[in-house]
Amino acid sequence: MSALNYSLPRRIPVLAQILAALLGGLTLFLVTLTIWVVGYQLVYAGRIFPGVSVAGVDISGMAPQDAALKLSQTLSYPINGKVLFREGDKVWVASPAELGMVFDPSASAQAAYRLGRSGGLFGALSGQIRARGFGYDVAPVIIFDQRVAYQYLQGLSQQVNTPVVEASLHLDGTNVIAQPGQVGRQLNVDATLIYLNAQLQTFRDGEVPLVVQEVPPAIMDVSAQADTARQILSQPMQLVLPNMQAGDPGPWTYDVQVLANMIGVQKVQNGDKSEVRVVLDPNALIQILEGIKTQVNRSAENARFHFDDATGQLIVLSPSTTGRTLDVSASMSAINNALLNGQHVIPLAVNETQPTLPDTATSQQLGITQLVSQQSTYFWGSSQARIQNIQTAAARFDGVLVAPGETFSMGETLGDVSLDNGFTEALIIYGGRTIKGVGGGVCQVSTTLFRTVFFAGYPVVERIPHAYRVSYYEETASGSDDSSMAGMDATVYFPLVDFKFTNDTPYWILMETYVDIGSRSLTWKLYSTSDGRSVTWKTTGLQNVVPAPKPRFEENSDLNPGQIKQVDWAANGADVTVTRTVWKNGAVYFQDTYQTHYQAWQAICQYAPGMDNPEKVAKRKNLCQSPSS
């Protein structure tokens, strides 16, 4: 330990001497190196160092401006050089200048002059040594206008590119013609520009590869689809209802030519691939199915019954009908799928709804055990047209059932009152006049139902009286008038005017209607189960009676000479209030009031032109006379 401490101080001066010697040598080396570099630059001040060339042209010892002149006179590559492009057996040759290359001799000479003078001390020394000892060829400075080259290559692309052709399928009549797809080829101008730039930098003639890419079609082959189309056209297509029953519409058959006009090709995406499917044209198929829909669709209809008073059982008048609706969208899918699978007899897609009341329903199930109400009205003096309308309208309600809790709409069951539905033209009240219109006499039916419901004790939800007193609704079985029935009428002009009542019992109600032409009567029966209710009623009778206005006489040029006819009938105006009390188990169940305001109605007679004193003629013929109260 003591020996080490003794020797260390004696060695420090020696190490210091060695370090000082090294630093001195390094300093001397750097000074010498600097003198060499600076001196070499001074020797060749303003001149390019020896051994320096540009693109093989020796410009050693020349001033930059002289070197630029020599380079511009010597290097003609931009003008005379050749750049070759090849694509198959096609060859294109262009000069660098045509491709947007410009040689800059001044910048090239300056680049040569900077060699050995930049890069710091060691960089400058390295450049001087390399140029002196081995020679150094400086890359020429060029300006490359890629816009010019891009335009040139775009011109080539028009000769190189081939379009992508997708496989196609079309029909010539019923012949299926398939065309395969074709791979497209496209010049990648941007990628080719990279190779062109590298070739121009060499300042030599050379070949630049054209980067051509293949572009495959989304669909190359449709031969399988063509076979499918031929299969579809191999025989006619027949559309049928599933579980077809006697009386059902169809089948619907479409021949091969119709199918050919409907066949189309649909491109679909299956994952990352495109596929072609042969389908029937959706618009044409929808048009066909919409036409079929009008024949197929029907509402579910309950069975209709009569009550057998002797046995207490229900007799089926007409069986129940299952409702059905053609599902157009599902049918389109079914048709296309079936055809693709080689099927030509194709069931349509139909949605079914079951009726509320099947024809297997029994009186015990429905709670129909007895007659609970019956009323008759009379139509003495009615025309044959009016009688026909009464029969047609009454038949709509015969055998109809009303569910417990249901509010029955007469208008909805009556449906469209039109010539197509069995109605004819008779007198109706419209626009303040009695005119001839379709359905005259229907209100005889609504009035009869109103009275039957009234005396059954069921709640009336909607009832509209006539604008004026109609004699039919106050007639008796003998044909005489009964003014006590004034205010006991109801009109229907659906959907504007309706008659509605509610079945507020736990039992079904069965309606039966009977038209007796001989007695000119309409009888309405309601069958159900009595819940103990009964009805009392009272009427104020006719009040505030307003005499009918004097008759009006109008000239009608359509009438024959001497002819006169009555087109509207007078009626006195009056007010009537009827109050009904419905009892149940000895207590008032409910009470309601029916207020009716009848307008005074004017008789109107029309006469032929030239008639003298039509009032006197009318009186003689008992036309347009004032009514009794």
| Residue-wise pLDDT tens digits, 180-221 | 989 999 999 999 999 999 999 888 999 999 999 999 988 888
How far is the C-alpha of 172 from the C-alpha of 214, rounded, in Å?
32
pLDDT at 435: 47
pLDDT at 12: 67
Q: Lowest-pLDDT range, 55-59, 145-149, 395-399, 456-460?
A: 55-59
pLDDT at 601: 87
- Phi and psi of 377, rounded to 5°? -125, 165
Q: For the chain, what are the domain ranges?
A: 1-42, 223-353, 362-522, 532-629
pLDDT at 9: 59
| Top-tier CATH class for 223-353 | alpha beta
Q: Is the pLDDT of residue 438 over 50?
A: no
Residue 276 pLDDT level (bands cut at 50, 70, 90): confident
Residue 186 has a CB neighbour count (10 Å cut-off) of 16
pLDDT at 570: 86
How far is the C-alpha of 333 from the C-alpha of 348, rounded, in Å?
10
How far is the C-alpha of 336 from the C-alpha of 232, rounded, in Å?
10
Architecture of domain 532-629: Single Sheet (2.20)
Kindly report the average pLDDT of the chain as a whole number: 88
pLDDT at 291: 94
Q: Lowest-pLDDT range, 259-273, 384-398, 423-437, 512-526?
A: 423-437
Burial environment of residue 223 by CB neighbours within 10 A (0 to 12, 13 to 18, 19 or more): exposed
Q: Is the pLDDT of residue 444 over 80?
A: yes
Sequence-distant (≥ 6) Cβ neighbours of residue 351 within 8 angstroms:
324, 325, 327
Q: Is the pLDDT of residue 255 over 90?
A: yes
Residue 401 has a CB neighbour count (10 Å cut-off) of 23
541-548: average pLDDT: 93
393-403: average pLDDT: 95
Between 371 and 22, the higher pLDDT residue:
371
pLDDT at 128: 79
- The closest of 316, 356, 365 to 529, measured between CA atoms, is 365
Residue 4 pLDDT level (bands cut at 50, 70, 90): very low
Which of 193-207, 243-257, 447-461 has the highest mean predicted lDDT (pLDDT)? 447-461
Identify the helix (H) or strand (E) that includes residue 227. helix 223-232
pLDDT at 588: 97
Q: Is the pLDDT of residue 3 over 60?
A: no
Residue 425 pLDDT level (bands cut at 50, 70, 90): low
Residue 603 has a CB neighbour count (10 Å cut-off) of 23
pLDDT at 277: 80
pLDDT at 428: 53
431-443: average pLDDT: 59
Q: For residue range 471-483, what is the model confidence (pLDDT) as tens digits? A: 888 889 988 888 8
Cis peptide bond N-terminal to 242, omega within 30: no
pLDDT at 10: 58
